[in-house]
Amino acid sequence: MNGVSFNFTVPGDDFTRAGEASSAIKNKLKSMGIPPAVVRNVAIAVYEGEINMVIHAPGNGRPGGGIITITVEPEAITMVLEDKGRGIEDVDKAMQEGYTTAADEVRALGFGAGMGLPNMKNYSDEFAITSTVGVGTTVTMKIYLNK
Amino acid sequence: MRCVVTIKNIAELLVCDILTCEEPDKEIHTACGSDMMSDVLAFVKDQAVLLTGLMNPQVIRTAEMMDIICIVFVRGKMPHESVIELAKDRGIAVLTTKHRMFEACGLLYSNGLGGGAGH
């Protein structure tokens, strides 16, 4: 397996910086010669996840935010988004389009409409989510390179 | 019949001020009008223009992830200099029009630009 992995840190709380990690990931994948359509799908899926980390994993005196790990292998790109946020009480509900626990301030910024997780699932070929209330959430997504 | 619409055409049709635009002759194939970025992120379109009333840096980030090549701020809104800079850095054209969202979308639609549905 000749895979290559890289990590990106997402700061919690700072909405103006949300998207910097996804932007860096997009540029990195582009420079590796990954097909543009795949790069776009990865970028969108990771960006929604990054926004979620900022919205739902605020620092509040703790580090907050999370880590995005991207692994590129010949057959697929794997994205692991791990945060130490407040966790999700009902994951099935959270996966429904339109379900949200985001505050009004977040909606005023153009997010928090309950589309984030469904979008992430739609753009990936494999999707898994585990979450523990008070501990954090981990989303693992895979996008195949040869479809 | 599909018309060829460029960024320059859009600027003319909507009487826009051009805040940044490096390739005015770049073709636009589809358009999307929304203030909800997650709705924008739900549907990939090629060579698209985004019309929005939202003014934060996430509009540019959303466009960047989607490969959207042009953003039009409606209702005469003027984004912060840092937002324009971010777009410039990413090669995304930014225009601002006095038209409201409904009118701006209607003008583009009636001049041959579709929403990309079913493509």
Nearest CA in chain B to A42: B65
Q: CB–CB of B67 and A22 under 8 A? A: no
Distance from CA of B58 to the nearest CA of A (A): 7
pLDDT at B115: 75
Per-residue pLDDT tens digits of chain B, which is 119 residues long: 456 899 999 999 999 999 999 999 999 999 999 999 989 999 888 889 999 999 999 999 999 999 999 999 999 999 999 999 999 999 999 999 999 999 999 999 999 888 765 44
Structural fold of domain A4-144? Heat Shock Protein 90 (3.30.565)
> Cβ of B46: how many Cβ atoms within 10 Å?
15
CB contact under 8 A, A110 and B56: yes
From the list A90, A138, A94, A132, the residue with the least C-alpha distance to A116 is A94
Q: How much of chain A is in helix, strand and coil states, percent to nearest 5?
A: 35, 25, 40
Q: Give the ipTM.
A: 0.90
Q: Do B58 and A15 touch (CB under 8 A)?
A: yes
**Which chain B residues are closer than 8 Å to A113 by Cβ?**
36, 38-39
- Per residue in B68-91, pLDDT (tens digit) is 999 999 999 999 999 999 999 999
A41-79 pLDDT, tens digit per residue, is 999 999 999 999 988 887 666 667 899 999 999 999 999
Domains of chain B by range and CATH? 5-110 (3.40.1390.20)
Give the domain ranges of chain A: 4-144
Task: Residue B64: list chain A partners with CB under 8 A.
Answer: 19, 23, 26, 43
